[in-house]
Amino acid sequence: MVIYSKEQSWSGCWKDEEARDIGLQNRDDLIRRDCGDMGKVYSGEYNDCGGWKFQGKCIDIDVSKMNWGNWDDKGCVGGGSTKKEARLWNIPGRVDWSQACNKKINTPEGLPAGNIKNRYCENRGINGEYGIIEVEDTKCSPERTSGNWGDWKDGGCSKPGIKKWYSRLFNIPNGKSWEEACDFMINSHGLQGEVVDKKCVNRGIEGEFGEVFIKDPICLGSWGTFDSECLEIGKKRYFSQLQVPQNLDWEETCNASGETILPNGQKMKPTRCVNRTKLGIGGGIWGEFEVDDPSCVKKTSAIADKIGQATDIITKPITNITESIFGNGNNTIIIFIVIGIVLLFLIF
C-alpha cells in the first residue's frame, strides 16, 4: 500500500559533476539534500531538466505506517547512557531509507521509554536500515562506567570447539580497581556467538584484559582424505587424519569431534581415535569409523601392510648385524627377540 501524502514538491535540477564538485557522490545526494531542507524525503521519481540535469520529487510520508522491530540492548556507551538499536520495517518502495529512518526516529512512536540523549540511523545494506538511540541509564552512570574495550583480537583455539577472543580495557577511572572495572564491563563485549566462559586477566604493565570464549566449529579441526579397508566379511573401516588446530591436544580434539559424512554417505563420529605417531606407523592423529558394508567379502588391511613394511625395515639391518656376530647359522630366535623389543618400544 502506498503511504505518500498528497503534498509534494520538486528539488532543484542537478547533474553529477555539481555533486562531485562539493564532495558528494552524485546528483541524488543533492536531491536528497533539497528534499531534507523541505522536511520531505526523495521518492525516487525524477524529471529530466535537460543538459544531463535532473530534479527529484520530494514527498511527505506517513511515518506511523513504518514500524520498528525489537529494540536490542547493546550495553553502556559512556556518559550515563545505554545503546539500543532496532530495524525499521515497511519503508515505502523507492523512498530513500536513511531519510525515512531520520523522520521516523525523531517521532516518539515506537521508541523505548526514557530520556533519549542521542539518536541516529545506520544503513546496513542488505540487512536493512537501523535506528540507534542512547538512553539515559543509571547502571551506566559515570560513577559506574568502567572504561572501554579496544579491538577484540582472535586468541586462537583454547579447547576443542572453543575459540578465545581478548581485548584490553582502556580508560579505567582513577581510583577504580582494574578487576572491578573489568568484571563490570566484560558483559558488554559485543561479540557474536554462543559464549561459554569469560574472565578478566591482569597482565601487569600491559594492562587489564578481558577474555571471552565462544563456540567455534573451526576449533574442532577438519578431516583429510578418507581411505578404507575391510576388517572382516561385511565390516568396513574408514580412516582419515584429523588436521588439529594449533596448540590443541590431538587425542582430546579427535574425541571431541562431531559427526562427519563418510564417503558412503553415512554420518557418524569416529569409532576410535588412533595416534599413529606413538605406534610408529605414520604421523598424526587418525579417526577410525567402522560401518557395516556387504561389499566386504574378504579381509584387507592397509594398516597391516604398513606394519609389515615397518617390520621389514627393522628386520633387514638386524639380520645383517646378527650374521656378522654369529655367522650365517640359525639366528631366527635372536631376530624375533630384537624385533619384539623394538615393537614394544614403539608402542609404549
Q: 311-343, pLDDT tens digit by residue?
A: 455 445 555 555 555 555 455 555 556 566 655
Buried b (16+ CB within 10 A) or exposed e, 201-210: eeeeeeebbb
What pLDDT score does 152 carry? 93
| 292 & 226 share domain | yes
Domain boundary among 140, 159, 183: 140
292 and 281 share a domain?
yes
Write down the pLDDT at residue 334.
Answer: 56
Is residue 174 exposed (0-12), middle (13-18) or buried (19+ Cβ within 10 Å)?
Answer: exposed
d(CA 305, CA 247): 32
Nearest to 12 by CA among 36, 197, 281: 36
Q: What is the pLDDT of residue 6?
A: 44
Alpha helical stretches, state H, 39-142: 97-105
Angle at alpha carbon of residue 248, lines to 221 and 267, rounded to 5°: 30
Residues 158 and 192 in one domain: yes
35: confidence class by pLDDT, cuts 50, 70, 90 = confident
Domain boundary (202, 218, 234) is at: 218
* Higher pLDDT, residue 105 or 306: 105
Q: Looking at residues 203-224, what average pLDDT do you find?
A: 92
Rg (CA), the chain: 35
Same structural domain, 120 and 70: yes
The closest of 110, 112, 174, 115 to 140, measured between CA atoms, is 115
Number of domains in the chain: 5
pLDDT of 173 strictly over 70: yes
Alpha carbons within 13 angstroms on the beta-carbon side of residue 213 total 12
Q: pLDDT at position 3, please?
A: 39
Beta bridge partners of 41: 59
Helix ranges restricted to H, the chain: 16-21, 27-37, 97-105, 178-185, 250-256, 276-279, 302-326, 332-347
pLDDT at residue 101, rounded to an integer: 92
More confidently predicted of 218 and 77: 218
- Same domain assignment for residues 50 and 72: no
Query: What's this model's pTM, rounded to 2 decimal places?
Result: 0.45
Same-domain pairing of 241 and 252: yes
Domain with 200, as residue range(s), is 148-218
Predicted confidence band of residue 29 (pLDDT cuts 50, 70, 90): confident
Query: Which of 140, 166, 191 lies at the terminal end of a domain, its last residue?
Result: 140
314 & 294 share domain: no
Which amino acid, residue 315?
T
